[in-house]
């Protein structure tokens, strides 16, 4: 049966050519004793693989599964090998088919059917790998739409043909030309490299942050340096994979320099300011700072461009790094350093004020958060008010007076109770009203 395809598009004619070749190969296999023998070996290899995989799955799982409380150096390698248990059937099928291929080639001098079967077993292994072993969403997407189609084309013998055709298809952009295959290779390699870069960056940052003997600012600087190194290497590798010489990036580097000089100078300034802050350790994660405009909060995150503050009411404030260099910033250093607080109170004019300092110092010192060093609580006479005598007590605490530390409130409670215990009156405003031309009271 023949069809006239001369008027059809080239892709249709090519597809018909491949279909005809496959049809002829199938007919050859159907009438060939060697082909029937190879089909039989493939079936036997598959059944044997299913049987052996079922027999060894449970014992192998028991051997590789570490105890719940295990912390030896072999725990992670055993868990890693345990992930590949679902691949047992496909691996055994490929191995048995390879052994059968050697026998068939020695008898008939050909093994094309078994070679096709081995490629199918590899496709099955790739499908199991993507379905059961890969858990990362990005890698699963990459495996589903890149690995599996490539393995399917390899199984039917069309991968080399498609690769050659993509290499021959050239895209021209001005003076730059590249093949479609180079573009696809760059996209796939770039996705994998930068995923590996992200994963490596997370691992290195986790390791660096566990080094408690290092200063917090030093840990952040080391993590940033590791991030730049990892993604820089990934970029260089990607350029080499795509066949782009690094010398050709000189023009791009010059354009970036011009951009930094004009539109990106603020970004560059913030980035350099962030490096200076990390080197000097002026502000780091966990510090409580107050900005020049009155806003305050705890630094919860640092980025290359800005620092993020969290206020007491849960709001996040993004502050450019440059502001920490060019403006006045008060750092209360909520990482264990002492801070002095002050609360005011008043007593009645009927009070013997010489007794007040000792009473208040004793009361305030009972608070577990009040420090005796660098100075114990100190009571000062501030003035004589309209309604009473004004005092202030200064005391040192480890931290700041925020939502979780109610130092001022607790100290005021202690002052109130101490004054009441000593029968010292806390004044409140009194007013005497005189009425003119008031009628006489009989």
Range 226-229, long-range pairs (CB < 8 A, 24+ positions): 226/201, 227/201
Res 5: pLDDT: 54
Res 413: pLDDT: 92
Residue range 280-331, CATH number: 2.30.30.60
Task: Give 310-363 pLDDT, tens digit per residue.
Answer: 887 778 888 888 888 888 888 776 555 677 889 999 999 888 889 999 999 999
* pLDDT over threshold 70, residue 94: yes
Res 412: pLDDT: 92
**Cβ neighbours, 10 Å, residue 410:** 19
Res 260: pLDDT: 57
User: Is residue 195 within 8 Å of residue 138, measured between CB atoms?
Assistant: yes
Region 268-274: mean pLDDT is 77
* pLDDT over threshold 50, residue 1: no
Residue range 338-421, CATH number: 3.30.70.100
Mean pLDDT (the chain) is: 77
* pLDDT over threshold 80, residue 237: no
The most confident of the ranges 37-41, 176-180, 247-251, 365-369 is 365-369
Lowest mean pLDDT among 17-31, 121-135, 367-381, 410-424: 17-31
User: The tokens of 261 are what?
Assistant: 């000089």
* Residue 385 Cα distances to 348, 349, 388, angstroms: 10, 10, 5
Region 37-58: mean pLDDT is 85
Report domain extents, the chain. 32-168, 178-265, 280-331, 338-421
Lowest mean pLDDT among 37-41, 198-202, 234-238, 246-250: 246-250
Res 442: pLDDT: 54
User: Is residue 278 within 8 Å of residue 222, measured between CB atoms?
Assistant: no
Region 422-432: mean pLDDT is 81
- Domains 280-331 and 338-421 equal at CATH topology level: no
Region 49-71: mean pLDDT is 82
Task: Give 168-203 pLDDT, tens digit per residue.
Answer: 777 776 666 667 777 787 788 878 877 877 777 777
Which one is predicted more confidently, 379 or 278? 379
Res 344: pLDDT: 92
Lowest mean pLDDT among 41-55, 144-158, 262-276: 262-276
Res 414: pLDDT: 92
Confidence label for 250 from pLDDT (cuts 50, 70 and 90): low
- Which DSSP helix (H) or strand (E) runs through 384? strand 378-384
Q: Which of 130, 249, 141, 127 is nearest to 195 (CA)?
A: 141
Region 67-74: mean pLDDT is 71
Which one is predicted more confidently, 63 or 69? 63
Lowest mean pLDDT among 260-269, 295-304, 305-314: 260-269
Confidence label for 416 from pLDDT (cuts 50, 70 and 90): very high
Task: Give 283-304 pLDDT, tens digit per residue.
Answer: 777 788 888 877 888 888 877 7
pTM of this prediction?
A: 0.52
The Cα 260–Cα 270 span in angstroms is: 12
The Cα 390–Cα 311 span in angstroms is: 32
């Amino acid at each position: 049966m023949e069809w006239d395809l001369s008027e059809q598009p080239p892709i249709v004619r090519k597809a018909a050519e491949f279909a005809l070749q496959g049809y002829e190969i199938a007919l050859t296999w159907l009438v060939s004793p060697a082909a029937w023998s190879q089909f039989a070996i493939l079936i036997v290899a598959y059944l044997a693989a299913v049987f052996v995989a079922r027999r060894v799955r449970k014992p192998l799982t028991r051997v590789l599964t570490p105890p719940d409380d295990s912390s030896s150096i072999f725990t992670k390698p055993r868990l890693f090998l345990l992930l590949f248990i679902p691949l047992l059937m496909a691996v055994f099928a490929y191995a048995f088919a390879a052994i059968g291929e050697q026998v068939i080639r020695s008898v008939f001098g050909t093994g094309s059917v078994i070679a096709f079967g081995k490629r199918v077993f590899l496709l099955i292994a790739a499908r199991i790998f993507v379905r059961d072993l890969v858990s990362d969403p990005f890698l699963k997407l990459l495996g589903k739409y890149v690995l599996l189609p490539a393995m399917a084309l390899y199984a039917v013998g069309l991968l080399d043909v498609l690769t050659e055709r993509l290499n021959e298809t050239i895209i021209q952009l001005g003076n730059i030309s590249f093949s479609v295959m180079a573009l696809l290779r760059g996209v796939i390699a770039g996705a994998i490299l930068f995923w590996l870069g992200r994963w490596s960056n997370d691992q290195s940052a986790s390791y660096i942050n566990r080094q408690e003997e290092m200063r917090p600012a030093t840990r952040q600087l080391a993590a940033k340096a590791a991030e730049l190194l990892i993604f820089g290497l990934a970029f260089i590798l990607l350029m080499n994979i795509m066949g782009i010489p690094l010398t050709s990036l000189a023009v791009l580097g010059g354009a970036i320099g011009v951009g930094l000089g004009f539109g990106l100078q603020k970004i560059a300034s913030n980035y350099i300011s962030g490096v200076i802050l990390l080197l000097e350790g002026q502000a780091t994660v966990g510090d409580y700072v107050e900005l020049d405009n009155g806003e305050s909060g705890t630094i919860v995150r640092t980025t290359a461009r800005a620092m993020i503050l969290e206020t007491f009411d849960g709001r996040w404030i993004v502050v450019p790094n440059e502001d920490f260099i060019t403006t006045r910033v008060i750092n209360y250093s909520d990482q264990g350093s002492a801070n002095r607080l002050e609360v005011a109170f008043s007593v009645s004019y009927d009070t013997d004020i010489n007794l007040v300092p000792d009473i208040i110092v004793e009361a305030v010192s009972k608070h577990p958060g009040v420090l005796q060093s660098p100075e114990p609580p100190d009571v000062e006479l501030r003035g004589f008010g309209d309604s009473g005598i004004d005092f202030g007590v200064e005391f040192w605490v480890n931290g700041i007076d925020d939502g979780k530390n109610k130092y001022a409130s607790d100290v005021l409670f202690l002052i109130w109770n101490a004054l009441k215990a000593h029968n010292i009156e806390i004044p409140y405003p009194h007013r005497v009203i005189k009425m003119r031309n008031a009628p006489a009271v009989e």
